[in-house]
Structure 1
């Protein structure tokens, strides 16, 4: 059988170590699907219900494995649907290859059905972005696309006109030859390990030696460097602050960490940023400048594998372009262990108080169920190597503060894009990658409803994911943003009837339960986690529970009060929740 372009694509993906493609077929990629079919023994195609989910799955797969994620969609609307998930990959710096279809070359420019020029559409999201127009471009352009995605940790895109997909790979209408550059092994899938420049690392060590109140801010770029991060922090007597995507870098119960930063972070971390005179940033270009030290307050050392990110947020005294693990190892050999531990011990005491405050909010007596208690039940019951995926919204606050990284636990969400709906697709993709690990999607009712058909994907693929829906029947984060900005709430709560996603799960042939009584919650979570197949717990939680910042600022409190004085429709219930939380904190 003569090899066609679609088959050449599939074969080259396999040679690069790709084993999974997430997507949805259509007549715009039938030739590519034929290529995937011919290599189905080595290349698994995961059929989804919506192309947006396919892109999220590819992104989640790349985040969890460090390997290339691949998604495919048909021409026109299918390609358009991929974009939200692809922007998630771009903004969180993970390698994803998007493959789309295009109308036949003979009709391009004739306003043909579904003629959407995806190379124009993807111009902003993809670092490598090409429409293949000659079979002889294969497989070189596949190599270039993958190398760009991996080397730049971003999105690459290839689109194939219908007639090109089924053209024999040997055809050469233009008599041009583009030789391929085949990968030597699957090791090429790994990110490059850049060693630090000796002068840069020496300068960084000198800045750190001069500091007296040192703080570390670590991000997902330090993933895989846990031992080195802890060793440097111990030597410098420095508390460790973690970005949300970098939550898994250091265990949450470790005495050196003060947890997260920002609206979803902790009070000790925010106070630490206000007091430190030296900041060591590792693997992060944390975007929320108002939570970082004031200009001129602290000298900054920044370590990042991407030189374009160094100095993006704060003026940097010493920048080190390097892999985090290698840079920290070199740094450790150049700094001495500090004998004065008073600054660190001060924040360890503050963190002890914060942990007690957070524990007090996981109150099993509260009704409606406190979302903190829901997350606490998951945290207590989950395995020490469990992987939690999360959507954006108030649920990110509950998971950031009440999902404890310990052992080999991991945590994934949409970091910089902060989009709704990736939690479920992430879980499906990660369960594919790690079939023997416990994968839990912690999602809101709003985000789950957007792509809930993908729960059927999990059932049909016999993936034992666990889904827990934090159901407040509202877009909770938007509600609180309205209040903080000083607006009365508007159009953020759903009308009755309230959803029963447990019934949906059972209709799909999976375990499903609805929980409204806090006494039933621990048992329902335990049963779902023990169930051998897909399982879903739909938990009704207090819709008026505010995701309060770690440290409430004057302007936030002022706007909150003004909004209530203008007539918040549920101000009694909300104030009751706030008061109850404060009483519980004081009791602890």
Structure 2
């Protein structure tokens, strides 16, 4: 029986299925922390993971939710600690993840008196949290905790519980049957929302009538992998996954053309240009310029967030439901297509695209290692069940284009928020959730310098808890905020401004060795394969410090006039890397052109053989 509010909250977290919290201590949450220690000593506690910064706590909680489907929980102290959580909570908000943050606060009598670390936390968290509430009495604690978890699960959003320091130590009182007192339960709500039969029939009619059907599959379809594949095989559909939905469809499915957009594939672009039916499954894909022209395609969308239905493309049927339940009801209504030429064309286009990517990965650049080759060689070697994380820079480009997550593999990153440095806490959270799997974190040097380097200290602290200690960090070391440098050129026609873009060079492999880890420095293309072999065979932590070229362009599969014009103008305006960027871009474009010609010749030969 809990004797204090803190003890009750800890027990309630366990009732909600929580076994691990990502936390950082402080006096504002001190009584709660003390009870966490007491529960741990009694064998009734929670695994307490303390990284080097509260922002990491929130990003870890978000990643835990993404990789496990459970509610992620983070804990921080009042004011400064709570403020540091906000970026990670926005990551949960914008990627629709259930996270509960427990934040300390100064005592009740301090409210509104300008006391030290007393701030209006409810106002602070009002935008990021779907539900935010301060517990002001023991009788209220049960309802607030339960409401936060129910809301996080049902709405797939972060929620915040504020726990004043004096309330934390108050004697717990069970809520009674009285006015203004709620008695609640720690029972999760069902999210298996099924649409009405008439909506399923309307969706099936549209899909069955389509001759060129494309499924755009997002992270909201996690858990519905088999249903998605069954529907695609029935309808002859091509499959495109969003960057966060990459793990939903195995990378070796022939008609899975991977991603769409600036870091996507040409077969995905071609599908969107030519499809007559678009089915969006669990995605709020934000780049409308890559979707079909208005009126080109009939559209069906399935999503658990009803406010996002029909938002990116005009839909003919908008289904509020979860993807697995909806597809389970839809599959019996879909008819088997005899003509699979659309799907076969999609698969052929993907084979050509993979050949082109392989050729791009083999290119040599004078100013550093080819980053494409680094990812290309990693992809060849990913062990079964591996988990790969990427950051918000060019790592996302190369991850999207070169990594193929086979069945059972996982991968993720900060999606709509696209915050830097998330790759490292994501990788750590994945390792805590799946300690028997190999985890590979891919991160740029700019993001690694933010907080990623610090987190190697956290890895050192908890390494002994992982049954398989194989944990690899790939740092793209090019002394530049490369993604932003290219965005300056391609979006704004501005030359790179070294003052803002340069990153101080650091010996990242040396830093790893200082902590007792394996550090491997890669300065030439011919060292890449051996580096990955050594890292993936190592029974511990490895940092690969890959000195990559910053001028390899993350070329989109379809180069628009605006893209080309802005890049050219930027280079003409005195870009400090102008000559190298022009040379490396030309190399990439020539390779792309050669592979396109090869593909065209191959298609022509196939057609002649058919005749």
Whether the aligned pair in 2 keeps the contact of 1:388 and 1:411 (CA below 8 Å) is yes
* Aligned residue number for residue 279 of structure 2: 280
Whether the aligned pair in 1 keeps the contact of 2:247 and 2:410 (CA below 8 Å) is yes
SS state of the match for residue 85, structure 1? helix
More displaced 10-residue stretch of structure 1: 479-488 or 566-575: 566-575
The answer to whether residue 534 in structure 2 is matched with residue 562 in structure 1 is: no
More displaced 10-residue stretch of structure 1: 121-130 or 518-527: 518-527
Whether the aligned pair in 1 keeps the contact of 2:301 and 2:310 (CA below 8 Å) is yes
The answer to whether residue 585 in structure 2 is matched with residue 578 in structure 1 is: yes
SS state of the match for residue 22, structure 1? strand
- Note the residue ranges of structure 1 that are not aligned, 5 or more in a row: none
Deviation at 1:249, TM superposition (A): 1.1
The answer to whether residue 104 in structure 2 is matched with residue 105 in structure 1 is: no
More displaced 10-residue stretch of structure 1: 55-64 or 578-587: 578-587
* Paired residue total: 582
* Aligned residue number for residue 551 of structure 1: 558
2-side partners of 1:214 and 1:492: how far apart? 45
Whether the aligned pair in 2 keeps the contact of 1:138 and 1:178 (CA below 8 Å) is no
* Aligned residue number for residue 474 of structure 2: 468
* Aligned residue number for residue 324 of structure 1: 323
Whether the aligned pair in 1 keeps the contact of 2:221 and 2:245 (CA below 8 Å) is yes
Deviation at 1:582, TM superposition (A): 3.0
* Aligned residue number for residue 456 of structure 2: 455
Deviation at 1:586, TM superposition (A): 5.0
Structure 1 residues 144 and 442: alpha-carbon distance in aligned structure 2, compared to 1, 3 A threshold: same
SS state of the match for residue 501, structure 2? coil
SS state of the match for residue 474, structure 2? strand
Deviation at 1:495, TM superposition (A): 5.7
The answer to whether residue 52 in structure 2 is matched with residue 53 in structure 1 is: no
Deviation at 1:29, TM superposition (A): 0.5
SS state of the match for residue 324, structure 2? helix
Deviation at 1:275, TM superposition (A): 1.5
Deviation at 1:171, TM superposition (A): 9.6
The answer to whether residue 524 in structure 2 is matched with residue 504 in structure 1 is: no
- Note the residue ranges of structure 2 that are not aligned, 5 or more in a row: 596-611
Deviation at 1:176, TM superposition (A): 7.2
Deviation at 1:529, TM superposition (A): 2.0
List aligned pairs for 1:250-329, cutoff 5 A.
Answer: 250-329=249-328
* Aligned residue number for residue 211 of structure 1: 210
Which whole-Å deviations, capped at 9, do the CAs of 1:453-489 have from their partners, x for residues lacking one? 1111111001532211111211111101100120111
Structure 1 residues 556 and 585: alpha-carbon distance in aligned structure 2, compared to 1, 3 A threshold: closer
2-side partners of 1:180 and 1:453: how far apart? 43
* Aligned residue number for residue 117 of structure 2: 114
Whether the aligned pair in 2 keeps the contact of 1:502 and 1:514 (CA below 8 Å) is yes
The answer to whether residue 169 in structure 2 is matched with residue 169 in structure 1 is: no
Structure 1 residues 165 and 341: alpha-carbon distance in aligned structure 2, compared to 1, 3 A threshold: same
Alpha-carbon RMSD across the aligned residues, in angstroms, is: 1.9
SS state of the match for residue 561, structure 1? helix
More displaced 10-residue stretch of structure 1: 132-141 or 53-62: 132-141
Deviation at 1:587, TM superposition (A): 5.4
1-side partners of 2:457 and 2:382: how far apart? 23
Deviation at 1:504, TM superposition (A): 1.2
1-side partners of 2:27 and 2:73: how far apart? 19
Report the TM-score when normalising by structure 1: 0.95
The answer to whether residue 475 in structure 2 is matched with residue 482 in structure 1 is: no
Which whole-Å deviations, capped at 9, do the CAs of 1:15-38 have from their partners, x for residues lacking one? 111001101101111011012112
Whether the aligned pair in 2 keeps the contact of 1:7 and 1:34 (CA below 8 Å) is no
Whether the aligned pair in 2 keeps the contact of 1:8 and 1:35 (CA below 8 Å) is no
List aligned pairs for 1:117-132, cutoff 5 A.
Answer: 117-132=120-135
Q: Which of 505, 513, 529 matches 2:536?
A: 529
The answer to whether residue 88 in structure 2 is matched with residue 88 in structure 1 is: no
Deviation at 1:193, TM superposition (A): 1.1
SS state of the match for residue 215, structure 1? strand
Deviation at 1:263, TM superposition (A): 0.9
1-side partners of 2:2 and 2:9: how far apart? 14
* Aligned residue number for residue 141 of structure 2: 138
* Aligned residue number for residue 236 of structure 2: 237
2-side partners of 1:94 and 1:255: how far apart? 30
* Aligned residue number for residue 395 of structure 2: 395
